[in-house]
Amino acid sequence: MTDMTIRPDRAPLTVDVLAGPVSRLRKETAIRWFFFSAALVSIGISILIIWSLVNEAWTFISQVDWSVTWGETGWFPRRGLYDMPTLLVASLIVTIVAMFVAGPLGLGSAIYLSEYASRRTRSILKPVLEVLAGVPSVVLGFFALFFISPQLIERIGRNGWLVIGALIVLTYVALVAGWARNLMKREAGTPVSVQVQRILMLTLLVAGALVLVWWVNGVAETADTFAVKRSGQLAAAAVGVGILTIPLVASIAEDALASVPRELREASAGLGARKATTTTQVVLPAAVSGIVAAFIIGISRALGETMVVFMAGGAADASQFTSSPFDGGLTMTAGMASLATGTDSVVGEGLTFQSLYFVGMVLFLLTLFLNVVAGRFVNRVREKY
């Protein structure tokens, strides 16, 4: 009370007082720059990677004799035969088979976890699923080579797979056709989203039919060689990749289902719908973009998986062209891995080394495209709610 010093707020106010201490401003600037440079370095590294990829790939593109990249007997980079269809078709086989494993199982788990599981069951199952996501792919490669290949693929045998494959594909075609029929029945003046869905449905239908033809054809082709013991095959690797992809599909699809507002489920229940009806008629359609995104990201993951296909795909260094999942084959990733490993590393005919980058660039563009598309679908879910 007796202290008569002037309180700060009574002192004459100037801009300097309000400007605050200079040291604090300096500190903030320094912190800002630190984080900016962290971001800059990450981006810089990515750009350098892409640059080196494109640079070496360009050497290949500009110098290669294009006749050896299409229609040759197979992928023999050390002998100068760079048949891209060999790698592309093997990658396609692995991705499709893997998604037939990861799609239904991943979405099924997601639906169970989000719609049916009690809080307790969920708290146990979700971590288990996350552990599965953490399994190193080399472990799965081993599993695919020494268990899936002899015990599952070869034991079921050619006729078994012919039936199983045909059943799966037919179920898929029937489901899509049923959905498509529903969409076609709508009256004129339907919203654009319905038309987009129609196109999507048609694409899926055609794709399904093609897969069916390919499956029957491919399995029939390997009829005579099937019994021969082999060191893995694309199908075994694909199942392994599918198992690896399940947790990813499940967790993204579950996020999409969980983002559907509880009110919609209540409204459906309040109208006398059963749980299964609510799930298929309300929750799944409301989450459809997120689920499509989950599948696309799954595809992208399966396409990029290397270790499992490298170990269990049944081919090293080089491969004949094959369209059968029961032959050994090289995917794009496995082809790159085998080029970059081994005692002689990358030696051979002039462009062998550059072909690695070319394949890498094709793979990069494919996954980039898939991730961008998936991102768009995810954003659509976010916008709606």
**Binding interface with other proteins (CB under 8 A):** 118-119, 186-187, 189-191, 193, 261, 263-274, 277, 281-282, 285-286, 384
Q: Output the CA torsion sign for 31, 34, 38, 44.
A: positive
42 vs 281, beta carbon nearer other proteins: 281
Q: Of 180 and 269, which CB lies nearer to other proteins in the complex structure?
A: 269
Residue 171 tokens, joined:
């179920």
Exposure of 306 in the CB half-sphere (CA atoms within 13 A):
12
**Nearest alpha-carbon partner for 78 in 282, 321, 347:** 347
**From CA 299, how far away is CA 285, in angstroms rounded?**
21
Q: Which residue lies nearer to other proteins by CB, 285 or 342?
A: 285
Residue owning tokens 């396409």: 303
**Which residue has 């499509």 as its token pair?**
292
Write down the least CB distance from residue 33 to other proteins, Å.
45
User: Which H or E element spans position 82?
Assistant: strand 81-82
DSSP at 316: -
Q: Which CB, 42 or 195, lies closer to other proteins?
A: 195
Alpha carbon 239 to its chain centroid, in Å, reads 14
Least Cβ distance, residue 382 to other proteins (angstroms): 14
Minimum CB separation of residue 230 from other proteins in Å reads 50
Q: How far is the CB of 186 from other proteins (least distance, A)?
A: 7
At its nearest, how many Å lie between other proteins and the CB of residue 274?
6
CA angle 321, 363, 300 (to 5 degrees): 105
Closest CB to other proteins among 20 and 191? 191
Q: What are phi and psi of 159, to 5 degrees?
A: -65, -40
Nearer to other proteins, 7 or 119 (CB): 119
Rounded least distance, CB 126 to other proteins, Å = 17
